[in-house]
Structure formats: structure tokens, C-alpha cells
Chain A
């Protein structure tokens, strides 16, 4: 895939910072409507035929050069993150496609109640929009990304048919499902942006290799380098890769004028623009806004509320692993999220906490991964080593508890005073503590998942009460709202302080819900793009 490279000094209508899930979706819409769009992306294009799942050293690569953790990957295009004050490690990928390159592509939607937590449960805040406001955008996004799944889930509102049937459940999955049914608890095949049959240009069906989190060799998993970006480039949008943004620039009136960046050859450049769209994820966007101080924005761009970088939400994860007496080839099929349960999703105050959680069903991988623990501790060294490996290989499954994360001011992204990326740009520092509500919620999930494994006949059960490497979902650090004193952007993603600055990544989330956020991020990005198209003709040159 080649990207178009226009003149670097031409003013563009829309400068998008970040080529991941949201930036790609907005770029495709805006460029289709005739806006001149350019995207600056600090990473590069990926070649699926070179993904490490086809390497003999895939187990090593998974922990190093293809780790989901940028602090372990340490590519030049990554930026380090100070996590000394966080029990959760943020994970992400920097490149065209962003974190959709390494995501597991689980794509549930928010529930209607997720947008009304203040009204319903008296906590956090309501969103300034409703489920119905973005439902059509969810559908549009499904069309482009391609969703496998099936209608009829009693835990979610009815919706249009998915593009493909669900991925197979497998004999291992049946075992867990039977346990849920014995307990009379909900389960349903997961929605995934993974092809269960060929869908999209040049995209094959999944061949169940399991290593969905290492990039998809078969192009069966939707990443935006394969879905939205080809559309956007065909419309004339431009991506410049290896372009690390230092700051968003503003004029004396405080209006965004473009961005200063370092190009792939290390040359300092400025990209002028009539508007700027931030799509750098819930950490990267906050980082750049805080870096973009000026006389007009002394506390960082769009930060008159003081909320840029605040209210960071991750989704707390617990993981419960069970080992069964039977061999079930648990390495076959996507590692994560072939089915889910939302039995405990909605608030029931008798449980002692508000909001709820989703159970995600997980498999395991091959012997190297199992020996090193998979989702639990490594198998012991010494005399019991071989017996324990034999017990776990092909017999180990897990259930993840993904809990609703509510916003708290002290959970934050700030600029580290010492740490920098490879271009000398200050790196982010994370402050995160788990709330008591989240702890209670996870403990409830652990107790009931243990019951599932016992019912399913597991012989050994292991619990990780808070997964360290689970900060996939980066949300809340530039929240949306009607009131400019307690939010950063309005319901269209437009900054209250800067009317030609828009934010379209997970930063704008008011609350986190208890599901993976990417379809909601992309739906909101498409909605913001539609708003710009309909209302901001002044941004077109």
C-alpha cells in the first residue's frame, strides 16, 4: 500500500493527528465529502505478510518487538509511558491502523443505560447524547469494518443483521457455555470485527490461528489500514507516516492553525490547517493538548476547564483461568472474545456496587505461551514442570471480567518532567488507582466466574484480581459535555475553547461502560465528521 504524499506546506482543510480507529473513520467521511484531509501518523504502514504470527519465534516476538505494551516494544515510533503510579499498564500500537493492528477486535456496543449513569444510578455524569443518537453510526461502522455476530441477544437492544455469521464456538467454548446455561446465566456469541467469511477488499476469512493480538496475517481481522484508509486515500486524503507531532499550533486569537512536527527524516516541519482533529487516543491526545500551551491557552490547548488529562478510564480487568481434565485444543480459534456474558451488566444495588461488568470468554495458545503462564502465573520450574505443562496445554481457558470504569479526577495523564520520546518530546505519566466500586465489582465477577469454572468441571482455577497489562481502553481525558466548565468538548466533539479543534478518540468518553470501546469511538468519529460536513463549510478552502 502506498500513501499519497502531497506538498507538506499546503494548508489543508482538516489535519488529523493519528491514523488509528477514529482518525481513519473521520478521514474517509471527510475526504468523501470533498474536504482536503491530511493525517500525521508517528508510526508506519504494516505489511500483514510480515506479522510475527508466521515466524518461528512468535512467542518471543509477542513479548518484545510485537508486544502490545509500548514500554516493552520500544520502537522509535512509540513513546514511553511512566507507569510508576498505575497498577494497570496502558497498551497500544503506533502506526497506520493504530491499536486496531494489535486489538482482539471484540466489538460490543454500549447499552442505552451507559449514556445515563447519573440519571439511573446517581454516579458520574450522563453523556450529552443517547444510544439512539449514535445507533446509525454504529451500523455504518459495522458495514465498513465488517461484523461477525448474530441477532437476538436478550442483553442488548435489537439491531440490524451483522455482515457475517459468528465465529465458531468450538468444543472448548461449548464447555463454558454449558456451565453458564446450568447456572441460568446469559451468554451470547461475541460481535467481532473478524471475518467469519471473506468480507471487504482482499480480506480473507479467519483461519483460527489464535494470535489475533499480533496483527492478522490473513487480513481477516479488521484494522483501519485495511478498511477505512483505502477508502480515504482513494478520496484524496493524504497520510504522512513517521510524522511525530510536537504541538498543535494556534494564532493570537487562540484558533488552531495546524501542527508542528518532526518528519520521518528528523526535519522539523509545520503543517498549516484550517481545522485540527485529534485522534491520538486517550493518552496521546491529552499529552499533545498539554504540550500545546500558548498565551491563549496557558494550561494547554482547550483546557480552560482544567479537565484535559483528567478522568482517565481504562476498564479494570480481572482474569480467572481454569484448567480442565480433557484436551480440547484450546489454541485453535481467536484467543479472546468468542463469546460473552452480560448477566451482571446492569446495576443491581443488592450486589453492593453500581454499574456492572461483561464476561469475555478466552482460550489459550501453544506450549511456549502456556509455559510462561498465559493469563496466569508461569508453570513451575523443577520437578513438577513437565506434569504441569501436560496438564495445562490444550486444557486451559479463561474468563475476563471487564468492569465499568467511572471517571475520577485523580486518575490522570500528565507530562513527565524527565521522560521523553525518541524526538525529545515529553512523555506521558499515568496516575491511576482502582476505585472501591471497581474493586467490589471485580470481586463479584471473580466469585461468579469461579462458580462457572467449578460448574464446568475445572480441576484448577487461578485468579488474577487485576491484570497488569490490560490498559487497552484509553478513555475520558477530554470528556464531552454541555457545560464548558466541566467538559472539554461538546456533544459533536468540538472543543469548547477552540471552535476549529475537534477530538474524536476515546478521550471524549464521559463514562467507560463495561465493553470494549472501539465501535463507540468510531461511531462518534463518524458523527463528528458528519457534523463538520454539514455545519463547517467555512473550513473548506
Chain B
């Protein structure tokens, strides 16, 4: 990704996910390379992503030097007028942010993929059916 686009994406991320607790805003967490690598895992998505960044840049040439309130307005307008482009950027920003171990630590998420460990649940307990079993059959006979 061109350095200008990297800076632009960092600025977008800063407005999307602000600092919280000990964590800086998302654009300051060094996630750009991972976003680019992840997007490249599918050609369709990668094309959408780069066209979205390009579209945002062309519509908001002064975004990097604008105030935060203007940046927010720019993003809202982009979201409203070009939802597919906006959603593409937001989707991958959210995915990469929420797979980061620093974020996991803050929100108390174990950070493992769903498999192979899976999770544990209390076993099936038939007593939950005590009330449901009292009902008479009501399926429609033909």
C-alpha cells in the first residue's frame, strides 16, 4: 500500500476506533501491514478494499489535514453515499483490531480461534422440558 494511503487509513482508523484505557486509537496500533496482508487473502476483497481507499481519497483530498470534527463529517458522508466502500474499510478494520492480542487483553477475550479447543457447556439436562412436556399435541392432523 502506498505510504499516502497508509497514512490515510491510519487517520480513518483513529476516528473509527478511538483510544480506550491503555490502548491508543486504532490507527496508532501498527495494524496497517496486517490489514493489507489480510485483504490480499482474497482477490475480490483486496480489489474492493483498494478501490474503497482510492475512492475515499478522491472524495476527501484534505482529510489528513482536517480537524477531527471535519474528518468525522467526511466519514459520515462517505458511509451514507458509498456504503459498500465504507463497509469494506470498516469490516477489515474491525476484524484486524479485534484479532489483536492487546485488544483481547482489554476486553477479556481468550483470543483463540474457535477450533480446535472449542468450548465447554453444561451437558443436556432434560429437566428443562418439565413445562414444555405438559402441553397437549397441537400439530394439525390431516
> Taking beta carbons and an 8 Å cutoff, which residues of A are in contact with B?
51, 53-61, 63-65, 72, 74, 111-113, 115-116, 119-120, 130-131, 150, 152, 154-157, 165-171, 174, 177, 181, 186-189, 196, 206-211, 217-218, 329, 331-333, 345-347, 366-368, 371-372, 378, 381-383, 385-386, 389-390, 393
Contact = CB atoms under 8 A, between A and B. Distances in A.
B137 to A, nearest CB: 5
B38 A60 contact: yes
A131 B142 CA distance: 10
A105 B36 CA distance: 35
Interface of B: 15-18, 20, 38, 41-45, 72, 75, 87, 90-92, 94-95, 97-99, 103, 107, 109, 113-126, 128-129, 131-133, 135-142
29 contacts: A53-B115, A60-B92, A63-B91, A65-B42, A74-B44, A112-B141, A154-B139, A155-B137, A165-B126, A167-B124, A168-B121, A170-B121, A186-B138, A189-B124, A189-B129, A196-B124, A208-B118, A209-B119, A210-B119, A218-B118, A329-B119, A332-B119, A347-B140, A371-B94, A378-B91, A381-B75, A382-B16, A386-B20, A393-B109
A63 B124 CA distance: 32
A61 B122 CA distance: 29
A186 B135 contact: yes
B41 A383 contact: no
- Residue of A59, A72, A131, A157 most packed against chain B (CB within 10 A): A59
A186 B137 CA distance: 10
Contact of A170 (B16, B92, B122, B129): B122
A168 B126 CA distance: 9
A186 B141 CA distance: 18
Given A367-B107, A383-B18, A389-B107, A57 B99 contact: yes
A352 to B, nearest CB: 18
- Residue of B87, B95, B123 most packed against chain A (CB within 10 A): B95
Contacts of B97: 371
Contacts of A165: 124, 126
A207 B117 contact: yes
A166 B75 CA distance: 47
Contacts of A120: 140, 142
A64 B45 contact: yes
A169 B107 contact: no
B139 A116 contact: no
B80 to A, nearest CB: 13
A111 B15 contact: no
Contacts of A206: 118
Contact of A56 (B15, B18, B20, B99): B99
- Residue of B16, B87, B115, B141 most packed against chain A (CB within 10 A): B115
**Would you list the 10 A-B pairs with minimal beta carbon distance, nearest first?**
A207-B118, A209-B114, A381-B16, A54-B115, A64-B42, A332-B119, A217-B115, A367-B98, A371-B94, A113-B140
Contacts of B16: 381-382, 385
A345 to B, nearest CB: 8
A333 B121 contact: yes
Contacts of B45: 60, 63-64
Contacts of A51: 115
Given A59-B95, A189-B129, A347-B140, 9 more contacts: A56-B99, A115-B142, A131-B142, A156-B139, A169-B125, A170-B121, A208-B121, A218-B116, A381-B17
Nearest to A343: B138
A287 B125 CA distance: 47
Contact of A58 (B114, B119, B129): B114
B126 to A, nearest CB: 7
A28 B11 CA distance: 58
Contact of B128 (A58, A174, A329, A378): A174
A76 to B, nearest CB: 12
A217 B122 CA distance: 21
A154 B107 contact: no
B84 to A, nearest CB: 12
A276 B1 CA distance: 51
Nearest to A170: B121
A151 B9 CA distance: 55
- Residue of B94, B103, B114, B139 most packed against chain A (CB within 10 A): B114
Nearest to A55: B113
A119 B142 contact: yes
B113 A53 contact: yes
A372 B86 CA distance: 12
A54 B113 contact: yes
Contact of A372 (B72, B91, B120): B91
Contacts of A368: 94-95, 98-99
Contacts of B38: 57, 60
B72 to A, nearest CB: 7
A155 B98 contact: no
A443 to B, nearest CB: 22
Contacts of A61: 41
A65 B118 contact: no
Nearest to B18: A383
B116 A54 contact: yes
B114 A59 contact: no
Contact of B139 (A130, A155, A167): A155
